[in-house]
Chains A and B, each alone.
Chain A
Amino acid sequence: MAGPIVQIRGVSKSYRRDSNAVPVLENISLDVPEGEFLGLMGPSGSGKTTLLNLIAGIDRPDSGSVNVAGTDVAQLSESQLAKWRATHIGFVFQFYNLIPVLTAYENVELPLLLAPLSKAQRKEHVQTALGLVGLTDRVSHYPRQLSGGQEQRVAIARALAADPTILVADEPTGDLDRKSADEVLTLLDRLNKEFKKTIVMVTHDPHAAERAHTVRHLDKGVLQ
């Protein structure tokens, strides 16, 4: 494995609840090597999702630095951060979060609209991504016409379509039955092993965490 693609140093983060500051992360430091499949575990409220959001550049630390793919994300403006996310981050949500008025094909194509690609190039990317997740026969289906497992596979295809540097997944099997969860975990495992994708996955599920190379535990905002 190569050097760290994610380098977090002394990161703290708190949220305001009424007039009180509630600390979520305290002085976190973490390295994620390129090609790693990292599992983040911990009880509810331990700060797993907050740490994932910081890595994905959708939240900012109160202090410390978050360096991902050679960029200190905390230093970027909102519009720079948006462009950076489009290039470097593929996000998989617990509840899939597909756009209901778009077909599977169009959902996967969505992030590619931001890239300087022709229609033919976009089509090639979408077909490759849907092929990887085994859903080439569902391209014109709307999310309501897909099962939960299929929706999550479309969501993974969407996250992969722009060939991001890192795949971040927040409880990707949390809303799936065991069979569908296994399919999704096998897919993530394959993406990591065959395509060398760096994956950071938050999960409650020990069964899911078993698929990760490395598992780190968070408890009350402190990395164990």
Chain B
Amino acid sequence: MKMLSIILRNAFRHRLRSILTIAGIATAVMAFGLLRTVIGAWNAGVTNAASNRMIVRHRVSFIFPLPITDLQQLQRVAGVSGVSWANWFGGVYGNSSDFKNFWPRIAVDPATYFTLYPEFIVPPDQLAAFQRERNACIIGRKLATQKGFKLGDVITMDGDIFPGRWEFVVRGIYTGRDPTTDETQQFFQWDYLNEQVKQREPGRNVDAGWYILKVGSAAQMPAVSATIDTAFTNSQAPTKTESEKAFQQSFVSMSSTIITSLQVVSFVIIGIILLVLANTIVMAVRERTREYAILKTLGFTGRHIATFILGESLVIGVLGGVLGLLLIYPMVQGVKQGFSAFFPVIGVSAFTALLVLGVAALSGLAAAVLPAARAVRLPIVTGLRTIG
């Protein structure tokens, strides 16, 4: 018989109470982990941004386009090894009130876009087919699965920014290079958009929504940014050139209040875990005051008593943490299926898994500190007089 055996038996001395406590902690840990995962999904664009890509957009706002004629000037900037461009299309597919019918639809330069985004893996024959056919499109694997789209299918939708009925033929399905790559997007030819708008709305120009630059390294970004923004300062469309990470961050910042609220709630949950555990441990220690006095009489020191109490709380906390962690996965799967339009990339990261276990373990230790200190300090004769 070792100390650990005593700790484990004490942890389940009141089986129902321990099980309820573990269930309470598991629920709180699950909520904490789910919130951290959602916050992580919100920041996925920032986290997954490439370190060698920059975005050039209109200085005033992302919604103002940049002239397509800026392209040649951008290609000549020192440090820039590749340039592409894209335009947000919008559009409405099916029932507009169903969020499952929303996914990003982006007009891109077919010749250069996928060269700058190696994380979107397109089979060469499908890419060639996409580049040959004006109204072709490439969609993500996850989107194809969700909507049942296959190669050769025609996706029909109504335009909102660009009015009219639009038809896109699926000629390629891309897969992500890693699990964090967004596989819910649809890309089609910018030339198709440009030609159709000219036909449908004579006089309306389609420019670039934003430019994407490939640079040699992150160290070159400040110089590239300064060169481009200085060059276009006095143009009709002044630019703001920033790293892809900063560009994505600007979107996340728009939701900063929500994210901050979620973070606050996640910390409140840690407080709840502490209270649930502390309540159980305080009760257990109070009931065993006499027992701890007996152990001291036998020769056990304050350090032993503290180990018993902290260990018991740690065991309950960690078990609650493990159970909570196991519950996070199906919950996140549910969020993934129900809110794929909002969170195209969502998953429990190794960091989140370690974080929730760490929080549960630390809460276990923290909840037992005061009861353990009290039990250690209590004189033996006082403890022996206690009716347990």
Instruction: Check B6–A85 contact: CB distance below 8 A.
Output: no
Q: Shortest beta-carbon distance, B266 to chain A, in Å?
A: 36
Give the interface residue-count category, chain B: 20 to 34
Q: Is A58 an interface residue (CB 8 A)?
A: yes
Instruction: Check A82–B1 contact: CB distance below 8 A.
Output: no
Q: Is A224 an interface residue (CB 8 A)?
A: no
Instruction: Check B294–A97 contact: CB distance below 8 A.
Output: yes
Instruction: Check B299–A85 contact: CB distance below 8 A.
Output: yes
Instruction: Check A85–B294 contact: CB distance below 8 A.
Output: no
Q: Shortest beta-carbon distance, B39 to chain A, in Å?
A: 42
Instruction: Check A83–B1 contact: CB distance below 8 A.
Output: no
Instruction: Check A59–B296 contact: CB distance below 8 A.
Output: no
Residue in B290, B294, B379 whose Cβ sees the most chain A Cβ within 10 Å: B294
Provide the residues of chain A in CB contact with B1, threshold 8 Å: 102, 106, 109-110, 113
Which chain A residues (119-167) contact chain B, with CB distance < 8 Å? 158, 162
Provide the bound-state CA to CA distance between A158 and B298, in Å: 9
Known A58-B381, A102-B1, A113-B3; judge A78-B298 contact (CB<8 A). no
Instruction: Check B6–A102 contact: CB distance below 8 A.
Output: yes
Provide the bound-state CA to CA distance between A208 and B379, in Å: 30
Provide the bound-state CA to CA distance between A53 and B290, in Å: 15
Which chain A residues (53-111) contact chain B, with CB distance < 8 Å? 53, 56, 58-59, 78-79, 82-83, 85-87, 89, 91, 93, 97, 99-102, 106, 109-111
Give the interface residue-count category, chain A: 20 to 34
Q: Is B9 an interface residue (CB 8 A)?
A: yes
In chain A, what residue has the closest Cβ to B12?
A101
Q: Is B380 an interface residue (CB 8 A)?
A: yes
Provide the bound-state CA to CA distance between A89 and B380, in Å: 15
Q: Shortest beta-carbon distance, B12 to chain A, in Å?
A: 9
Instruction: Check B299–A59 contact: CB distance below 8 A.
Output: no
In chain A, what residue has the closest Cβ to B296?
A82
Instruction: Check A85–B298 contact: CB distance below 8 A.
Output: yes
Instruction: Check B302–A78 contact: CB distance below 8 A.
Output: yes
B-side interface residues toward A, CB under 8 Å?
1-3, 6, 9-10, 13, 290-291, 294-303, 379-381, 384
A–B Cβ pairs within 8 angstroms, 30 of them: A53-B381, A56-B297, A58-B296, A59-B379, A78-B301, A78-B302, A82-B296, A82-B299, A83-B299, A83-B301, A85-B298, A86-B299, A89-B297, A91-B297, A93-B384, A97-B290, A99-B6, A99-B294, A99-B295, A102-B6, A102-B9, A106-B1, A109-B1, A110-B1, A110-B298, A111-B299, A113-B3, A114-B298, A114-B299, A114-B300
